């Protein structure tokens, strides 16, 4: 694989974030929620919609969120617009950064909105035909995640208690986040007492389904300080497209994420020890386990003990998903992770604030075929 660096080098920055309340929004479409979030993000950035000349939207599982629909609702005729089907926010941010760095746009609005809970969207089956998996009952992301975790257990001796530490740590953060949907206490005993969903995974290992909207405003680096809040500058970004998917060896373990990690750190010019707070998009807790290893915060097979020692929880050496993640805060496909990363860098996170956070990593995957990572940093 070619080692391509993408030295965005701070030439794009996030200057506004906004979201709706998370949970249930009967009567509102995903597009409505994207619009409400967009208004909040524009207000946070201190700009009027007429200053937006780029729009990057994210398609929901049920086909909402086209740039055409969102642009029309928001009354935008931007110079540039696009829709991604696998947003997970990182891919959307990278596209917006590329539009900004190429000069096609200066200030880009990014949106995602979904009413998958009240809309009863079927999240158990993928968008493409899956004749050799789904008819056997391998449905819902929890199934492949269970396959991946049991394999991890087999290879490295990882225990269910260790896996449970991830959901427990994220819940401890969520309890300090008013936006989070699940804020009740979750101790390891509670986790172990929960019934299996798809063994060896339990309910707390798997994301909830929720309605909500999230939006982000990005602008060119030389304008980053023309806004009321401290900018979160893009120090580095990297992706991989493992499009051969199941043809790749051990694909459920996502070994192809490792080069993304190497590239994003090289592009940003920071080391792993410089990361103050990390965000791993988490449809299941297994993603966090995998990414801790692939992004090199511990060695292969060491993520179990790493999380069990509390290193990713409040006060740990590498706080992970301080918003509670998709396991406890809300299922917004990684978008709320970015809002939280920006607020951590601003120092706005109240009791769950990581003291002096200057560098944040956000890593995500598109199912079992794409990976992306962004490193954000403060200016001062």
Partner 1 sequence: MSGREALVLPLVDDPVTAPFWTGARERRVALQRCLRCAYVRWPPARVCPECLAEETRWETVQGRGTIWSFAVYVRALHPAFADDVPYTVAAVELDAGPLMIGRLDEAPSWEPAIGDRVEPAFEDVTPDVTLVRFRVIA
The footprint of partner 1 (CB under 8 A) covers 122, 124-125, 129, 131-140, 142-144, 146-148, 150-151, 154, 195-200, 244, 246-247, 251-252
Helix (H) or strand (E) holding 163: helix 160-174
Residues near 374 by beta carbon (within 8 Å), at least 6 away in sequence:
90, 93, 94, 234, 236, 237, 264, 338, 361, 362, 363
Nearest to 339 by CA among 348, 351, 350: 348
Closest separation between CB of residue 147 and partner 1, Å?
4
Closest separation between CB of residue 367 and partner 1, Å?
15
Closest separation between CB of residue 236 and partner 1, Å?
31
Helix (H) or strand (E) holding 68: helix 67-74
- Residue identified by tokens 């979030």 is 37
Both tokens of residue 4?
A: 């391509």
140 or 311: CB nearest partner 1: 140
In whole angstroms, give the CA distance from residue 353 to residue 315. 10
Closest separation between CB of residue 282 and partner 1, Å?
18
In whole angstroms, give the CA distance from residue 295 to residue 116. 31
Closest separation between CB of residue 235 and partner 1, Å?
36
Closest separation between CB of residue 309 and partner 1, Å?
26
Could you tell me how far CA 269 lies from the centroid of its own chain?
A: 22
N-to-C CA span, the chain: 36
249 or 351: CB nearest partner 1: 249
126 or 269: CB nearest partner 1: 126
84 or 286: CB nearest partner 1: 286
Task: With both helix axes pointing from N to C terminus, report the angle between 160-174 and 285-294 in degrees, rounded to the nearest 10.
Answer: 100
CB-neighbour burial class of residue 377 (10 A; exposed 0-12, middle 13-18, buried 19+): buried
3-state secondary structure of 238: strand
136 or 225: CB nearest partner 1: 136
In whole angstroms, give the CA distance from residue 292 to residue 311. 11
Closest separation between CB of residue 190 and partner 1, Å?
18
27 or 249: CB nearest partner 1: 249
Q: How many CB atoms lie within 10 A of CB 192?
A: 12
Q: How many CB atoms lie within 10 A of CB 195?
A: 7
189 or 250: CB nearest partner 1: 250
Closest separation between CB of residue 158 and partner 1, Å?
13
Contact between 93 and 234 under an 8 Å Cβ cutoff? The reply is yes
In whole angstroms, give the CA distance from residue 238 to residue 192. 37
Closest separation between CB of residue 194 and partner 1, Å?
11
206 or 230: CB nearest partner 1: 206
155 or 273: CB nearest partner 1: 155
């Amino acid at each position: 694989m070619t080692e391509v660096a993408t030295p965005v080098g701070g030439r794009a920055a996030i200057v506004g974030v906004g979201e709706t309340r998370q949970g249930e929004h009967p009567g509102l479409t995903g597009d409505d929620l994207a619009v409400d979030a967009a208004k909040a993000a524009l207000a946070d950035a201190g700009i009027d919609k007429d200053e937006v000349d780029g729009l990057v939207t994210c398609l929901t599982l049920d086909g909402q969120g086209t740039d055409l629909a969102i642009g029309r609702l928001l009354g935008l005729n931007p110079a540039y617009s696009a829709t991604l089907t696998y947003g997970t926010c990182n891919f959307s941010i990278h596209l917006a950064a590329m539009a900004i760095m190429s000069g096609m746009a200066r200030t880009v609005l990014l949106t995602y909105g979904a009413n998958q809970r009240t809309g009863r969207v079927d999240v158990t089956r993928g968008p493409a035909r899956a004749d050799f998996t789904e008819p056997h009952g391998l449905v819902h992301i929890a199934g492949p995640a269970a396959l991946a975790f049991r394999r991890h257990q087999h290879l490295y001796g990882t225990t269910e208690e260790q896996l449970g530490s991830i959901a427990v740590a994220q819940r401890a953060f969520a309890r300090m986040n008013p936006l989070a949907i699940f804020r009740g206490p979750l101790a390891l005993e509670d986790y172990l007492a929960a019934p299996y969903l798809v063994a060896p995974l339990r309910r707390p290992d798997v994301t909830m389904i929720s309605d909500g909207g999230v939006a982000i405003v990005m602008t060119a680096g030389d304008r980053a300080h023309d806004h009321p809040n401290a900018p979160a500058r893009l120090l580095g970004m990297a992706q991989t497209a493992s499009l051969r998917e199941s043809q790749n060896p051990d694909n459920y373990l996502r070994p192809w994420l490792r080069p993304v990690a190497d590239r994003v750190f090289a592009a940003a010019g920071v080391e792993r020890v410089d990361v103050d707070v990390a965000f791993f998009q988490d449809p299941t807790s297994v993603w966090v386990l995998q990414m801790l290893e692939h992004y090199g915060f511990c060695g292969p097979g060491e993520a179990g003990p790493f999380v069990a020692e509390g290193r990713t929880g409040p006060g740990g050496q590498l706080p992970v998903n301080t918003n509670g993640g998709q396991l406890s805060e809300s299922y917004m496909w990684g978008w709320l992770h970015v809002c939280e990363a920006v607020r951590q860098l601003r120092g706005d996170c109240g009791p769950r604030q990581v003291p002096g956070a200057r560098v944040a990593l956000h890593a995500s995957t598109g199912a079992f075929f794409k990976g992306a990572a962004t490193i954000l940093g403060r200016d001062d």
